[in-house]
Structure 1
Amino acid sequence: MSAAAGTVSLGPVRGIRRVKDTGFTVFLWTCAGLALVPLTWIAVYVVSKGVGALSWNFFTKEPAGPLNPQQGGIVQSFVGTGLIVGIATVIAVPLGILAGIYLAEYGKGRTASGIRLVAYVLLSTPSIVAGAFIWALVVVALGNFSALAGGLSLVVLMWPIVAIASEAVLRLVPQELREGALALGLPRWKTIVRVVMPTAGAGLLTAVMLAVARALGETAPILLTALGNDHINTDIRAPTDAVPLRVYDYARTPVEALHSIAWGGALVLLAAVLFLAISARILSNRQQKRIA
């Protein structure tokens, strides 16, 4: 009888636990939904404001001037953004991945601790500080603004992202793979190049995409280093325009047509950043499944 009574008494307890579990699940989903509300609102607002500016001229023409701005575009901004971010990527990605390899495979002493400290400090450094640093170091020394200076200012922001993310991804590679390669007679560096890095390839690409997404929307460092340009420029030694700069410049003007073009530029930036972020997330999930 006591056993039967004990069995009956568990029913209400299980019911209470089920209610608590359901309530907590609903609470978490509600919090997640509320967190998405600002992002969704911003995305919808930018789309509603900027979609009207998108046209063939917008993507293929240089600015037409304040008298007839709707006939022009910001092609020079797209070219400049590609040039500046390209310079930054070519420099920051190899240095960041090499730093990540060192930290994950060799870094156990004070040198590794110093590199990690520098990376985390740079990761939290305001972008305008990076721009001011490169302005003082490069722009003042060379005597002019340039795409090269703009790219170097973005290197300061991209390198810590690539380095920290690369270290994290490389540490996820099972130690058994390294031990197996070493047991077969491969030297340490070949093990890293032929075994570890291919296994972590998707994760490394994710790190690069996140860094590029961060660089695409930066305005302050580009304003202090690249200055801007109303014409297409492919010379890394000359002042160069960028989409964030053009959005900033047009947003300050009293001309309503230029405001529309600024919203169009903001929409393109938002779409590019969302694409990179979603792609990085997909690659990260595939990387985790592959390693598992």
Structure 2
Amino acid sequence: MPVRLDRPRSARRAAGRAPHRPPGTHGRRAQPGGALPRRRRRTRRRAAGRGGPPPARPAARRRPAALRRAPRGPRPRAGRVAGCCRDFTLLTVAALRHRGVPARSRVGFVGYFDPGFHSDHVVAEYWDGGRWVLVDAELDPATDRPFDPVDVPQSVGGFRSAARVWTDHRRGLIDGARIERYGLAPETPFRGAWYVHNYVLLELAHRRRDELLLWDSWGAMAQGPDGVPAPELVDEVAGLLLAADSGDAAAERELADRYAADPRLHPGPRVRSFSPTGIFGWTDLDPAPDRTR
């Protein structure tokens, strides 16, 4: 699916690769044709023998082939790799972008993991020719759910961006008690206003293709639940993110300019990491972020 110039600027930008998700030698697996299920390739050959391929469905109604691939069963234990939602999302985004489909990662909270709690989460989003579609690559599409995992709704019970949650909190739509239900898990201190505050800045970084880990910290981020260091700055960033989501090209440009110029918003060559594995300290980024992108 080639990138067309009539797509919004956000979609055109989301079609390029980023330093944290190059496919490397695995890129050939996502090449058009070679990565499709075997039955689909046979269908194409039969159609070509009858005088050409079947007519394509409208772009807005097609799902990228990377999302249609048939499962091959579980890997042997020795061949498995553990990962979080961010890793599932980056793999999905890398495969989609490698095939020319504009895609990006989105940071926010979902209400379908823990009843009564909104868990932090990263999902993929791709441009289907008419709109941005959310995909939760961690969910098995065969599992019975009230929604389609490759078209996740943006709602209280579905996915809500960090910018939306923060803005609703600041407007009083999510009060001080309810904001404590947004975070890593209800039994941990990693929840509440300070946590959502940090996730707005993380959402911005992912939008600018710096898809860092959820436990990386930099700039204006809070270091714990003792306070929110930059609420007005995060108010402005959240407002621009929501405007850009609605298609405001000027807001998208302002986000890019402010992210590049303000060291409170973007990570430098090092970030502080608070890993759930118990590793705390400074981490050097490799490659270092490129602010010219």
Q: Same fold (TM over 0.5)?
A: no
The structure, 1 or 2, with the larger RCO (C-alpha pairs under 8 Å, 6+ apart) is: 1
Q: Which has the higher helix share?
A: 1
Q: Which has the higher strand share?
A: 2
Q: TM-score, normalization: structure 1?
A: 0.24
Q: TM-score, normalization: structure 2?
A: 0.24
